[in-house]
Structure 1
Amino acid sequence: MRVSGVLRFLALIFALVTTWICIRSYISLNMKTLRLPRWLTDLATKEIPVVRTKCGLTKPCPKEFFAFKISSGAANVVGPTMCFENQVIMSPVKNNVGRGLNIALVNGTSGTVLTQKSFDMYSGDVKLLVKFLKEIPEGTLVLVASYDDPGTKMNDETRKLLSSLGSSYAKQLGFRDSWVFLGAKDLKDKSPFEQFLKNNPSKNKYDGWPELLELEGCVPRKIV
């Protein structure tokens, strides 16, 4: 009995000592200051700037340039969108787009939006479009986006006026074609800002319409 009691007593002492050592080590570890590498500390505290471009462009525009993005309509379901200098000019959300041609006029020097209007080329807004194009002031930027059907009833005069704005595809614009364009009044050369996709049943992305087009870029304040 005595030997058994001594062994139990020693086991108890050993357990108490072991527990005390573990507790002391835990407290000591938590009281120490963890030192991170300097480069890791700097990375954690340094604010990483997020570059936000106007109109969500892939890269920012130079100081003397305007940022823009134009998207054509998707079939006859989703209307086009126009953004200029981070301002949405026309869009389905703003409820100011329509089937046919959607056109916005912007002052080429100040970047001020002058007006925006849609022309239904299927029902016959051709005369209104001709009048509108003829009255565009000098030095005005012209943003155009198609929706549904931009060219069914377009006449030669309309095509000539759009071509004078710098378009390379106005003369071949037809039934349900997709088209986005940025030009200017009396532009001396063809505009570099234009995309065109012909309605082709064998290649169309949508049932009866080609896919939507998206055009973005930086246009200089003095384009003419």
Structure 2
Amino acid sequence: MPALPEIKCLQMTMLFLVTCVCCWILGVLIGHEAAKHAINIGIDQVEGILKLTAKKAPSPRQNPCGLAQQCPPQHHPFRLTSGGDLNVLPRLCFDNNSIFAMNSDKLGRGMNIAVLKVSTGDIDVKSYDMYEGDFSDPMVNFLKSLPNGSIIFIATHDDGATRLSPKARTVLGEMGSNEIANLKFRDNWVFVTGRGFNLAGHYEQIVHRGESQQSFGDWPNHAVSEGCLLYNSSKLHQTEH
């Protein structure tokens, strides 16, 4: 039987070991909670910084009519896009207003025309079928009747060439078009010109059927023209964008 002092020494040793183990476990638990608390504080701080940055960062500003650059003061942005297939109508944005979309009931197959009267700011929209019927002469008469101080936007939809007469091509050429003589079946074409004054830049594009990627089945890519118009009632001109 061990002596009393030895028993007490053994008990003290066991108590010491148990105490050490408990302290170690407690330290691990406290350290884990401290680390977890520190991580949570860090996450909260990062989230706060991100929220503050998001509030301060200005949102990207889209230019009117989706132009690549901002127009100078007093200029009027425009973007003219031809139609696509039978269901994709032409589009005209002017001063950030969707002119053709607001007059969709007036659009149709053939030549779609919007006329801006600078003196009043009024815009008139008309469409002339160039696939069936005889609408070349009415279109010519309309174009010839426009007063000086008019800006004319023309965009094809579906087909603008089949019933387009030589006379109409001549009139459009006299208005400044360089491509109207080359317009063929289901080519896409857009043209912007002025009556009684010349635009500082030439705004016209033709996309031939079969010579570009056919984005709409039997129809080619859109033809597009865009820029910044500067004008007033006494001095009319246009600056390139």
Q: Which TM class, normalised by the smaller chain length?
A: 0.7 to 0.9
**What is the match of residue 106 of structure 2?**
96
Gaps of 5+ in 2: 1-6
Give the 3-state SS of the residue equivalent to 2:147 in structure 1. Answer: coil
**What is the match of residue 218 of structure 1?**
228
Distance in 2, matches of 1:151 and 1:30, equals 70
Is 1:14 the counterpart of 2:28 in the alignment? no
Q: Is the 8 A contact 2:200 2:237 kept in 1?
A: no
Distance in 1, matches of 2:157 and 2:78, equals 18
Give the 3-state SS of the residue equivalent to 1:149 in structure 2. Answer: coil
Question: Alignment partner for residue 177 of structure 2, among 167, 175, 179?
Answer: 167
Single out whichever of 212-221 and 2-11 deviates more from structure 2: 2-11
Gaps of 5+ in 1: none
Indicate the percent of aligned positions where both proteins have the same amino acid: 26
Distance in 2, matches of 1:133 and 1:81, equals 20
Deviations 1:112-143 (A, max 9, x none): 24210111012221222122112212111111
Normalized per residue, the structure richer in helix is: 2
Evaluate the alpha carbon distance shift between residue 187 and residue 42 of structure 1 in structure 2; reply closer, same or farther with a 3 A threshold.
same
Q: State the one-letter code of the partner of 2:124.
A: T
Is 1:141 the counterpart of 2:155 in the alignment? no
Give the 3-state SS of the residue equivalent to 2:31 in structure 1. Answer: helix
Q: State the one-letter code of the partner of 2:219.
A: W
Q: State the one-letter code of the partner of 1:52.
A: Q
Question: Alignment partner for residue 72 of structure 2, among 41, 44, 62?
Answer: 62
RMSD value over aligned CA atoms? 3.7
Distance in 1, matches of 2:183 and 2:90, equals 17
Question: Alignment partner for residue 126 of structure 2, among 109, 114, 117?
Answer: 117
**1:91 deviation in Å?**
3.6
Distance in 1, matches of 2:160 and 2:175, equals 17
Distance in 1, matches of 2:163 and 2:29, equals 94
TM-score, structure 1 as length reference: 0.78
Q: Is the 8 A contact 1:81 1:88 kept in 2?
A: yes
Distance in 1, matches of 2:40 and 2:135, equals 80
Q: Is the 8 A contact 1:166 1:190 kept in 2?
A: no
TM-score, structure 2 as length reference: 0.74
Question: Alignment partner for residue 83 of structure 1, among 89, 93, 115?
Answer: 93
Q: Is the 8 A contact 1:166 1:191 kept in 2?
A: no
**What is the match of residue 192 of structure 2?**
182
**1:192 deviation in Å?**
0.9
Distance in 2, matches of 1:89 and 1:13, equals 80
Q: State the one-letter code of the partner of 1:89.
A: I
**1:220 deviation in Å?**
2.2
Distance in 2, matches of 1:173 and 1:190, equals 24
